[in-house]
Amino acid sequence: MAREDHINPSERSLAYSDAIFAIVATIMILPLSGQAVQGVAGSKDLLAGLLQIWFKLLIYALAFILVSSTWDTHTRLFRHIEKVNETIVLLNLGVLMVVTFLPFAFLMIAEYPREPVAISMFCGCIAVVGIFKAAIVWQVYNRDNLLKDEEAETGNLSSKRRRALLMVMVKPILAVIAALVSIGSIETAWAFLILMMVEPALRQIGEAVYHCVRGKTRYGLKVIRPSRLVSETAETSRLSCFSDGVYSIVATLIILDICVNNVPTAAHVQMHGSVVKALSQDAPVFLSYVGTFVTVCLLWYLHHTMFRHIRAQNSIVLTCNKMALLFAGYLPIVFKLTGQFGKEVGTGNSSLAVQVNSVVVFLASVWLLAMWITASCKKSETLHSSAHTTMANMFMVAHLCIYPVTSLVIFCLCFFVPINSDVINWVQIGMLGVFILLKLIRNLAQKRL
């Protein structure tokens, strides 16, 4: 049994990591969809209720961005790694454990921004993640059998290792400084925290200056040119995995509430006379479950159809994807609120609920459209050859426009006609029909060509 036997492809470790990242990124939405929404539903006025929980809604968004950028650096770290040994698998589990703790550390810092302990906790997480990552880099670049061939064979390995270590260690060092400083002055600690957030940009500028000083001005300027954002491409497999995780969690969130709250109790059954009547009281909840599930799954379907054509991602595609996932996370909440307030036609609540709903659906779908447009601007690099025809592009755009256009129309209609929440749910379920119709039209168009 050679040592080689303990080395194996990195796929499964990465799939497990993606699953954990997806859960951690969306975990802050779970408490929101439960008690917080019940709180809003208890208040008479939807707007007042929303203002009550705006801070929590914001925290979810920020935590999502935080965790998904950590995921981002994780994918960048593992991009050149072909195989993993047991040490790397264990180190990676260490990274995951600390990442799982990030939402709590972030909540603490949001609640107590002036407490040294909250800042130290957050910085401690960043620092420990950095140390584990540095250990992974060290392992990988010291064993040439773990790297991908193209990385192992080109250039000087030890200078590559230095670069990779530098990239991984800047943030942790800043975090340690921030934690130490926070005991003396909170303001300075926050300055370091902000420095940590803009660190990638700073590192790029530093690199450019370094090259310019050494006389390689042209190379130096190339580093900071914005076109780098679209020119650096990478594989899309981990992006698909992470997105699958997020969409599947969002799609099943509502059923959790249904299991907890909507099984009629014995008292409930007695009050209404029969189980059927007790269940029918909750009919709007079930309808909004179907509505959310169909919407989330069709968004996933769009994502899936799109990534059949997309071969490689660049930074802008990645950002659009994150935004699309972020807003998809709000869907279960707005659907619940629509179900709760959308019945009160006549009061302002009903229109507002429906409008909030369409805004979120719009935002969750329009980023997918933006992603497709970005990708098709750089056709040759990002798309498979099958998607280069005008017709493929046209049908893809038509698919991607369905949701943004419908939600815009509903949003505008609300100013003129009172719209019931049931209508919204049926419109969402009816979307399935629109997709099937579009498919039939395409098949017909192909036959005639």
What is the Cα–Cα distance from 66 to 57, expressed in whole angstroms? Answer: 14
Q: Smallest gap, in angstroms, from Cβ of residue 389 to a second copy? A: 5
d(CA 367, CA 62): 18
52 lines the binding site for a second copy (CB under 8 A): no
| Whole-angstrom distance, CA of residue 184 vs CA of residue 205 | 30
Binding mask 149-178 for a second copy (x = CB under 8 A): ------------------------------
Contact with a second copy (CB under 8 A) among 69, 82, 83, 115: 115
- Site membership for a second copy, residue 324 (CB under 8 A): no
Residue 96 in contact with a second copy, rule: CB under 8 A: yes
Shortest gap between Cβ of 363 and a second copy (angstroms)?
A: 22
Return the sign of the alpha-carbon dihedral for residues 266, 269, 273, 274.
negative
331 or 352: whose CB is closer to a second copy?
331
Q: Are 425 and 291 in contact (CB under 8 A)?
A: yes
**Nearest CA-CA partner of 37 in 56, 60, 61:** 56
**Between 201 and 398, whose beta carbon lies closer to a second copy?**
398
**Residue 266 to residue 125: CA distance in whole angstroms:** 47
Judged by beta carbon, residue 331 or residue 354, the one nearer a second copy is 331
Q: In angstroms, how far is CA 190 from the centroid of its own chain?
A: 26
Contact with a second copy (CB under 8 A) among 19, 57, 345, 434: 19
* Tokens (6 digits) for 134: 């540095």
| 24 scored as a contact of a second copy (CB under 8 A) | yes
Which tokens sit at 21?
Answer: 């990242």
Q: Tell me the per-residue interface mask from 376 to 415 with a second copy, x by CB under 8 A, - otherwise.
A: ----------x--x-xx-----------------------
Work out whether 20 is an interface residue with a second copy (CB under 8 A). yes
Number of residues that bind a second copy (CB under 8 A): 77
C-alpha to C-alpha distance for 360 and 415, rounded to whole angstroms: 17
Task: State the binding string over 176-215 for a second copy (x if CB under 8 A, else -).
Answer: ----------------------------------------
The residue from 54, 55, 112, 210 that contacts a second copy (CB under 8 A) is 112
Tracing tokens 């209404």 back to the chain, one arrives at: 272
Q: List, as one string, the DSSP characters of 301-316.
A: HHHHHHHHHB-EE-HH
User: Burial code of 381-416, b = ≥16 C-beta within 10 A, e = fewer?
Assistant: ebbeeebeeeebbebbeebbebbbebbeebbebbee
Determine if 103 is a binding residue for a second copy (CB under 8 A): yes
Other beta carbons within 10 angstroms of residue 334's beta carbon come to: 24
Figure out which of the listed residues 348, 439, 441, 444 binds a second copy, where binding follows CB under 8 A.
439
Please report, as residue ranges, which positions from 243 to 302 form the binding site for a second copy (by CB under 8 A).
244-245, 247-249, 251-252, 255-256, 258-260, 262-263, 275-276, 279, 289-290, 293-294, 297-298, 300-301
With CB under 8 A as the contact rule, the residue among 61, 93, 205, 229 that binds a second copy is: 93
Structure tokens of 65? 């961005």
Nearer to a second copy, 231 or 446 (CB): 446
